[in-house]
Amino acid sequence: MLHKLNSIKILLILITLCFFVACNNHKTIKQKEIVKVPEKMDDQISDNIKSVLDFASTSNGSIGDSIQLAQFKFVNAFYSKNDFKGVWSKTETWNPIADSMFQFIKKSKYYGLYPEDYHFNELKKLRSKIETDSLTRMDAVVWTRADLMLTDAFMKTLKDLKEGRLLDDSVSIVSKENAADSFFIPKFNEALASGNLTATFDSVEPKNIYYASLKEMLPDFVDNMDTQKYAYINFPYIDTLQFYKDLHKRLLQSGIGSDSTELPDSVTLSKEIKKYQKKHKLTADGKVGEQTVSSLNSYDYEKFRRIAVTLDRYKELPQLPEKYLMVNIPAFGLRVWDNDSVVVESKVIVGKPTTPTPLLTSAISNMVTYPNWTIPESIIKKDILPALKVNPGYLAAKGFVLVDYHGNQVDPYKVKWAKYTNGIPWKIVQLSGYENALGIFKFNFSNPYFVYLHDTNQRYLFSNTYRALSHGCVRVQNWEAVAFYIAKNDSLATKKGQRVSYNADSIKTWVANEDRKTIIVKKRLPLYIEYFTCDATNNKIVFYDDIYNKDQFLEEKFFADKSF
- What's this model's pTM, rounded to 2 decimal places? 0.87
Q: Which helix (H) or strand (E) holds 214?
A: helix 209-224
In b/e form, how buried is each residue of 360-373, taking b as 16+ CB within 10 angstroms? bebbbeebbbbbeb
Neighbours of 126 (CB within 10 A): 20
Residue numbers in the chain where pLDDT is lower than 50: 1-2, 4-5, 12-26
Residues 6+ apart with CB under 8 A from 49: 79, 84, 85, 86, 144, 147, 148
Tell me: the pLDDT tens digits for 316-359?
999 999 999 999 999 999 999 999 999 999 999 999 999 999 99
β-pair partners for 34: 139
Tell me: the pLDDT tens digits for 358-401?
999 999 999 999 999 998 888 899 889 999 999 999 999 888 99
Between CA 113 and CA 20 the distance in angstroms is: 46
Between CA 127 and CA 138 the distance in angstroms is: 13
pLDDT the model gives residue 258: 81
Residue 242 class from Cβ within 10 Å (0-12 exposed, 13-18 middle, 19+ buried)?
exposed
Q: Please report, for the chain, the start and end positions of each structural domain, with discontinuous segments joined by +.
A: 29-205, 316-540
Between CA 517 and CA 522 the distance in angstroms is: 16
DSSP label of 495:
P
Question: Please, how many CA atoms are within 13 Å of residue 157, restricted to the half-sphere of its CB?
Answer: 32
Between CA 226 and CA 304 the distance in angstroms is: 10
β-pair partners for 444: 366
Do strands 360-369 and 517-530 pair parallel, antiparallel, or not at all (unpaired)?
antiparallel
Neighbours of 506 (CB within 10 A): 16
Question: Please, how many CA atoms are within 13 Å of residue 161, restricted to the half-sphere of its CB?
Answer: 27
Looking at residue 524, its amino acid is: R
Domain 316-540 indexed as CATH 2.40.440.10: yes
Using DSSP's 3-state secondary structure scheme, residue 370 falls into coil
Do strands 474-476 and 453-454 pair parallel, antiparallel, or not at all (unpaired)?
parallel
Between CA 51 and CA 12 the distance in angstroms is: 33
β-pair partners for 336: 325, 344
Return the sign of the alpha-carbon dihedral for residues 246, 247, 249, 254.
Answer: positive
pLDDT the model gives residue 229: 84
